[in-house]
Structure formats: C-alpha cells, structure tokens
Structure 1
Amino acid sequence: MMLSMEKQTKGGSKIDMHEEMRRAFALLSGKWKLEIMWLLNQRIYRFGELRKAIPGITQHMLTAQLRELEKDGLVSRTVFAEVPPRVEYEMTAKARALGPTMQALAAWWQAYGDSVPKRAALRGRKAATR
C-alpha cells in the first residue's frame, strides 16, 4: 500500500501525512537509535553487551538513547533483583512491527551499499583495539 504525503481522511478528520512521518522519523532519530534497534532486533542485550557491540558510543549516550527508546515504547528494560544487578533490553511488540522496514533496509543495502562512499566508522569515544 503506497501512502502519499498529502492530507488524507481517517475517521472523518484530515491527517497530514508529512507531519505524521516527521513524528515517526523523530522516534528513530538520534545518532545511535537505529543501530541500537538493529541489534535489539537480533536478540535481547545487556547494557554492557550493547556498549561493546557499538564501537564509538559512550556509556552516557547509550543510556540516554535507551531511555528515549524506552519512553517512546520501542524498548523494554527488565531489571533482575540479583547481585550484581542484571538489566536486559529488548524490543517491544510495537518496535518489532518495524521488522519489515529493517529487512527492506538490509535488502537495499545489499543491492546498493557498495555504491555508497565509505566514511570514517568511528564516532564518539575511540574504540579499543584488540
């Protein structure tokens, strides 16, 4: 189903699809949100695992991005009453509905990724070399 960016009628009221898409883009905008969502689409992660999986992200930024995703209902955070405390992050059902979009992006990248100029991979803190 193709949606136009023009105003559409839903339940008798006009919807500005441009404005609605801006709201949708805002949910996933942020330097790291898409990368976090991509990882969480694969499996449940603990905080430290996420930090290690994303080269260049700082602890502060990962915390901030996860809090925003949780506030927007895209990520759930589970705290286990253990010593030491264990915290796990996973995508919510609402975020899992973005799966086809992520698959489409992966297919697009496989088709066209080689034609995109490479940029420096590191952002934020410098990744440790092993």
Structure 2
Amino acid sequence: MMKRGLLLIIMMISTLSIYSFSKYNADNVRTSIASFYHDKFNGRTTASGDIFSNKKMTAANRTLPFGTMLKVTNLRTGKTVIVEVNDRGPFHSSRALDLSKAAFDAIGNTSRGTMPVEYEILD
C-alpha cells in the first residue's frame, strides 16, 4: 500500500510539472545577472536613438531587438518589472541586462549594484 501511494504521488508531481512548464517557451525565459545604469548616462542617446532616462522602465541587451518587451524578475525577492530594450550592453560577460535605475529599484536594491534575474521575452 505504501509503495502504491508513493508511486501515485510521484506520477502526480510528474504530470503537474509537465503541465506547469508547458506554457513557457524555453527560448523566451532566461536567467542572468542584471546591473543598472549610472546617472551620468541621463540625457545621452541610446543605441536605438532614444534619449536615456534613469526614470524610465528600459533595459540594454547585447542581442535582443530594440522595442522588445521583457518581464524581469528578481530571483531573490520574486518582484517583477516590465521593461523595453532600447540600448546595447552590458559589456560585462557575466551580465545580460543593464536596467534603468527606476526599473532596478522597483525590484531590487540599488546599493547592491547587481542582482540575479530571470527575464522573459513578452513579444
């Protein structure tokens, strides 16, 4: 009886795991480290031609097309923010995103400088 119950639980967990991950496209969800822009970049032109502002919800990525919307989740806190890719960077090999200070502050602590994140392409 104990073995049947254990087998049933394992089968249920396996089935639920497949169901819960099926709504995600693995190509659209990634994990990395995010940093944020220094205030000295305010008013400068981004690679997309936009004028940068640390008050907007924007991000830089080396390869994603400009205008790509991302849902960024701080893996420490679970907080999320939606940002638009409008610049290139970061140019540090261990990081995939540079967030505006407003976006970083919405989900993390700017005194830390970096945070582990999961980011999902929304469009």
TM-score, structure 1 normalization: 0.22
The structure that is strand-richer by fraction is 2
TM-score (norm 2): 0.23
User: More helix per residue: 1 or 2?
Assistant: 1
